[in-house]
Amino acid sequence: MGKVIVMKHPLIQHKIGWIRRTTTGSRDFRGIVSEIAMLMCYEATRELELEEIEIETPICKTKAKELKGKKLAVVPILRAGLGMVEGMLTMIPAAKVGHIGLYRDPETLEPVEYYCKLPEDCAEREVFVVDPMLATGGSAVAAIRMLKDKGVKNIHFMCVIAAPEGVKAMEEAHPDVDIYIGGLDERLNDHGYIVPGLGDAGDRIFGTQ
């Protein structure tokens, strides 16, 4: 059974307060989302397995620890997930990056798929799907379904803000996936926006509105 982990780290909470503010412009918004992703990555990778290897320092042979087995991949859900990639790669520079393009139909709130390009060996990797917002959960559920259809088994989902409705949808559709959340909000409004939330993450990252 996957875990739902809401981040408690004070730096993450402080930075989320800044991106929620209407007065935070695109440049700062982008920078802070990236910093949050970096901090969340640090927290979300706590349980990666290590193995002991032998290395040689300039002084002598010794034992060191190395990440065991599976290599990692980061898969942002376009567009807003792109804002989390740099922060993730700062922590895990060797990770490969796949892209899944989905947008939410504004009328039905259903996800519409328009792009999917994954690393060739994605099925063998431990995959972190990233998207700042988990609202109805439609986009995350569909993205993870796409990954599973391509044989990916080890999947984690990271979002900056989640609504309880989205968490429930994910738990029902993908009970095996761990969910890492920066801040768990109150609810969705009638337009499917998270309350209090931060507005439209893609528009705020890319300055499109």
CA atoms within 13 A on the CB side of 104: 22
Among 36, 80, 146, 170, binds ligand PRP (CB under 6 A): 80
Residue 149 is a catalytic residue: no
Neighbouring C-beta atoms of residue 86, cutoff 10 Å: 16
Count residues near ligand URA (CB under 6 A).
10
- Taking the C-alpha atoms of residue 6 and residue 101, their distance in angstroms, rounded to an integer, is 26
Residue 108 is a catalytic residue: yes
The answer to the question of residue 160 lying near ligand PRP (CB under 6 A) is: no
Task: State the minimum distance, in angstroms, from the CB of residue 36 to ligand PRP.
Answer: 14
Partner whose binding site includes residue 194, from ligand URA, ligand PRP, none (CB under 5 to 8 Å by kind): ligand URA
DSSP code, position 174? -
Partner whose binding site includes residue 139, from ligand URA, ligand PRP, none (CB under 5 to 8 Å by kind): ligand PRP
Task: State the minimum distance, in angstroms, from the CB of residue 204 to ligand URA.
Answer: 8
Looking at residues 167 to 196 of the shown chain, list those that interact with ligand URA (rule: CB under 6 A).
Answer: 192-194
Partner whose binding site includes residue 166, from ligand URA, ligand PRP, none (CB under 5 to 8 Å by kind): ligand PRP
Residue 131 is a catalytic residue: no
Active-site residue identified among 21, 108, 121, 187: 108
- Taking the C-alpha atoms of residue 32 and residue 35, their distance in angstroms, rounded to an integer, is 5
* Residue from 67, 40, 39 nearest 53 by CA: 67
Active-site residue identified among 104, 125, 185, 204: 104
Among 36, 82, 135, 167, binds ligand URA (CB under 6 A): 135
Which amino acid does the sequence have at 39?
L
Distances in whole angstroms, Cα of residue 132 to Cα of each of 33, 68, 85, 159, 163 = 8, 28, 11, 5, 12
- Taking the C-alpha atoms of residue 136 and residue 164, their distance in angstroms, rounded to an integer, is 9
Which residues does 47 contact at the CB level (< 8 Å), separation at least 6? Answer: none
Looking at residues 105 to 144 of the shown chain, list those that interact with ligand PRP (rule: CB under 6 A).
Answer: 109, 111, 131-140
CA atoms within 13 A on the CB side of 103: 8
Q: Does the CA dihedral 182-186-187-190 come out positive or negative?
A: negative
Binding site for ligand URA (CB under 6 A): 80, 133, 135, 192-194, 197, 200-202
Residues catalogued as catalytic: 104, 108, 200, 203
Binding site for ligand PRP (CB under 6 A): 77-80, 103-104, 109, 111, 131-140, 166, 192, 200-202
